[in-house]
């Protein structure tokens, strides 16, 4: 506790020197970060292989490349984002007609990152924090120990501890961090822990951003007019990615029963084509993060053994569990009432004519972080996306909304609060301060006493005139 308290105090002292306020200085730090990520990409890939069994290609595609893109976007836009806004004050403020809005850093920030994308969800959030002019204490996951160890060396070599520091350890260390007074907290993880983070932050009235998976998971809806081969190919790719351990991954698929059988055949074929007949023996296929995660996945599969139509096998020694299709599953069954975070994929049939009832069922549950629709009826899909509540999503695609520049990544309710990526990340890690620039000439006595008598009557007439 004393060590973490000392780290926070040193960072607060450094922040108060004003060194982080200079935008040129911030850009220089981001350029150093980008160069270091490129130089140490191989070490990142090795660490991800040790923790999650990720292949070099998947590690670069899903962790390293998005970090580089995020930093590039931030470097390009930071001067514009940080520029003070100039506003017309309005007649009510006459003669002080100029108001500025300054984008001010919060100060000392705490970033709590998860195990599933330990590089991206640490350094991507760090990019936003540094762009905002803050210092940062990072609490990385103890589950992804190789990645945390690599990041600890990486950060220590790159930045002084009074600017950026990474601490490792379990939940006890996280709680020690939360006991300190930070100026901003950014947490990525589960809704249950998100509630704990909010409760601890409330003790200091610290603003918090949360990126959560969603209590009841992310839905994918496949209508009867969808391109089934295309939908199956994309869904299979996404479910294989990181063995389903992705906050925006598909938790369950609702498919029109009129096309359920052909869809299942396409989905099985897509899995086989992409990962082979024996995915558990494929070294490109990631494993589950811990033995307990594997055991939880295997036990849940056993509960639905009689409805497994594909997969359903695993190897506890390697912690690999095959992508597993479970069909049919009712929308009210336990397996679709919580986030899975594994390669199990329940398939929920519904009548296409009753798709609105299906969407209503989804809407009445906790808000997901992502939603995916597959249909040729784009008018219906766009209207539906504007009526549901969720973080983000795709129509006839999966996950790549995460890669779009200039747009926010966010959740709502049980899937989080706040937003980041690019300018949205800069906004998340700064607060707008409104400053009116006063004038000492042509000041009127309109706002001053007296408010009664003929003078008061004249003032009231003028105020009413202004309001028209």
What are the angstrom distances between the C-alpha of 408 and each of 114, 316, 330, 384? 20, 38, 33, 20
Instruction: Please tell me whether residues 445 and 356 are part of one structural domain.
Output: no
Asked whether residue 47 carries a pLDDT value surpassing 70, the answer given is: yes
Tally of domains within the chain: 3
Model confidence at 1, pLDDT cuts 50, 70, 90, reads: low
Question: Domain of 240: which CATH number?
Answer: 3.40.309.10
Look at residue 194 in the predicted model and tell me its pLDDT: 94
Distance between CA atoms of 200 and 196, rounded to whole angstroms? 6
Residue 368, pLDDT score: 95
Contact indicator for 201, 325 with CB cutoff of 8 Å? no
Q: Of the residues 58, 70, 200, 211, which is catalytic?
A: 211
* Between 219 and 466, the higher pLDDT residue: 219
Burial of 92 (0-12, 13-18, 19+ CB in 10 A): exposed
Q: Determine the pLDDT at residue 235.
A: 98
Catalytic site includes residue 247: yes
Cα–Cα distance, 345 to 133 (Å, whole number): 42
Residues 384, 423 share a domain = no
Domain identity same for 226 and 375: yes
Residues 343 and 315 sit within 8 Å (Cβ to Cβ): no
pLDDT at 465 (0 to 100): 86
- Give how far the C-alpha of residue 419 lies from the chain's centroid of Cα atoms, to the nearest Å: 7
Residue 251 belongs to what H/E stretch? strand 250-256
Mean pLDDT of the chain: 95
The Cα–Cα gap between 19 and 30 comes to 14
Residues of the domain holding 132: 2-214+416-431
> Quick one: DSSP state of residue 241?
G
196 within 8 A of 21, measured Cβ to Cβ? no
Please check the confidence at residue 467 and state whether its pLDDT lies above 90. no
Over residues 67-116, the pLDDT tens digits come to 999 999 999 999 999 999 999 988 878 888 999 999 999 999 999 999 99
State whether 327 and 422 are in the same domain.
no
Whether residue 430 contacts residue 109, with contact meaning beta carbons closer than 8 Å, is answered with: no
Q: What percent of the chain has pLDDT over 90?
A: 92
Percent of the chain residues topping a pLDDT of 70: 100
Q: What is the DSSP string of 261-313?
A: HHHHHHHHHHHHHHH-S-GGG-TTS---SSHHHHHHHHHHHHHTGGGEEE---
Q: What is the DSSP letter of 365?
A: S
**Distance between the two ends of the chain, CA-based, in angstroms?**
59
State the average pLDDT over residues 443-460: 89
What's the CA gap between 243 and 238, in Å, rounded?
9
Query: Are 330 and 303 part of one and the same domain?
Result: yes
Mean pLDDT of 123-149: 97
- How many residues comprise the chain? 468
pLDDT of residue 17: 97
Q: 227 and 79 share a domain?
A: no
> Tell me: the pLDDT tens digits for 346-384?
999 999 999 999 999 999 999 999 999 999 999 999 999
Q: Supply the pLDDT for residue 184.
A: 98
Strand partners, 188: 211
Say yes or no to pLDDT of 157 above 90.
Answer: yes
Q: 3-state SS of the chain: helix, strand, coil percent to 5?
A: 50, 20, 30
Cα→Cα distances 314→341, 351, 405, Å: 16, 33, 38
What is the rounded radius of gyration, in angstroms, for the C-alpha atoms of the chain?
26
- Residue corresponding to tokens 């976007």: 73
Q: Do 181 and 156 reside in the same domain of the chain?
A: yes
CA torsion angle 187 191 192 197 (round to 10):
30
Same domain, 143 and 6: yes
Q: Tell me the β-bridge partners of 440.
A: none
Tens of pLDDT, residue by residue over 292-319, are 999 999 999 999 999 999 999 999 999 9
What confidence category does residue 396 fall into, taking pLDDT thresholds of 50, 70 and 90?
A: very high
What are the pLDDT digits (tens) for 174-223?
Answer: 999 999 999 999 999 999 999 999 999 999 999 999 999 888 889 999 99
Relative to beta strand 416-417, strand 208-212 is antiparallel
Please indicate, yes or no, whether residues 170 and 197 belong to a single structural domain of this protein: yes
* pLDDT at residue 444, as a whole number: 78
Task: Give 462 or 287, the one with higher predicted confidence.
Answer: 287
Residue 63 belongs to a domain with what CATH number? 3.40.605.10
Q: Is the pLDDT of residue 242 over 90?
A: yes
Residues 190, 226: one domain?
Answer: no
Average pLDDT, integer, range 424-431:
97
Structure tokens at 71: 């930093």
Q: What is the mean pLDDT of residues 379-405?
A: 95
Residues 342 and 424 in one domain: no
Give the pLDDT score at 93: 84
Which of 177, 220, 241, 247 is the catalytic position?
247
Q: Same structural domain for residues 63 and 205?
A: yes
């Amino acid at each position: 506790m004393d060590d973490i308290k000392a780290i926070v105090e040193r960072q607060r002292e450094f922040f108060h020197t004003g060194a982080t306020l200079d935008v040129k200085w911030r850009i220089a730090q981001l350029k150093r970060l980008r160069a270091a990520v490129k130089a140490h990409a191989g070490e990142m890939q090795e660490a991800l292989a040790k923790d999650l069994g990720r292949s070099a290609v998947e590690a670069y595609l899903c962790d390293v490349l998005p970090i580089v893109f995020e930093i590039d976007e931030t470097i390009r836009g930071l001067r514009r984002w940080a520029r003070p806004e100039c506003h017309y004050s309005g007649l009510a403020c006459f003669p002080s007609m100029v108001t500025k809005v300054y984008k001010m850093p919060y100060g000392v920030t705490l970033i709590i990152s998860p195990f599933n994308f330990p590089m991206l969800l640490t350094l991507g959030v760090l990019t936003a924090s540094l762009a905002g002019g803050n210092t940062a204490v990072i609490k990385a996951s103890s589950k992804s120990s190789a990645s945390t160890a690599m990041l600890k060396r990486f950060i220590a070599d790159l930045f002084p501890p009074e600017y950026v520091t990474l601490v490792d350890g379990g939940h006890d260390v996280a709680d020690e961090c939360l006991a300190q007074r930070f100026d901003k907290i950014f947490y990525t993880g589960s809704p249950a822990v998100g509630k704990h983070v909010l409760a601890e932050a409330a003790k200091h009235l610290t603003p918090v951003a949360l990126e959560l998976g969603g209590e009841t998971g992310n839905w994918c809806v496949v209508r009867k007019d969808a391109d089934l081969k295309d939908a199956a190919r994309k869904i299979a790719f996404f479910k294989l990615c990181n063995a389903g351990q992705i906050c925006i991954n598909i938790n369950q698929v609702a498919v029109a029963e009129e096309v359920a059988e052909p869809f299942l055949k396409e989905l099985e074929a897509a899995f086989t084509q992409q990962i082979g007949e024996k995915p558990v023996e494929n070294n490109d296929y990631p494993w589950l993060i811990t033995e307990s995660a594997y055991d939880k996945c295997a036990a849940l599969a056993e509960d639905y053994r009689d409805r497994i139509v594909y997969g359903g096998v695993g190897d506890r020694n390697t912690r690999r569990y095959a992508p597993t299709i479970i069909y049919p599953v009712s929308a009210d069954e336990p397996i679709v009432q919580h986030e899975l975070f594994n390669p199990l994929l329940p398939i929920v049939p519904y009548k296409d004519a009753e798709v609105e009832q299906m969407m209503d069922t989804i809407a009445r549950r906790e808000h997901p972080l992502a939603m995916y629709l597959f249909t040729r009826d784009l008018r219906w899909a766009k209207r539906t996306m504007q009526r549901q509540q969720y973080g983000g999503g795709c129509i006839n695609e999966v996950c790549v909304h995460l890669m779009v520049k200039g747009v926010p990544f966010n959740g709502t309710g049980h899937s989080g609060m706040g937003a980041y990526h690019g300018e949205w990340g800069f906004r998340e890690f700064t607060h707008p301060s409104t400053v009116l620039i006063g004038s000492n000439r042509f000041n009127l006595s309109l706002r001053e006493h007296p408010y009664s008598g003929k003078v008061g009557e004249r003032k009231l007439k003028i105020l009413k005139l202004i309001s028209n």
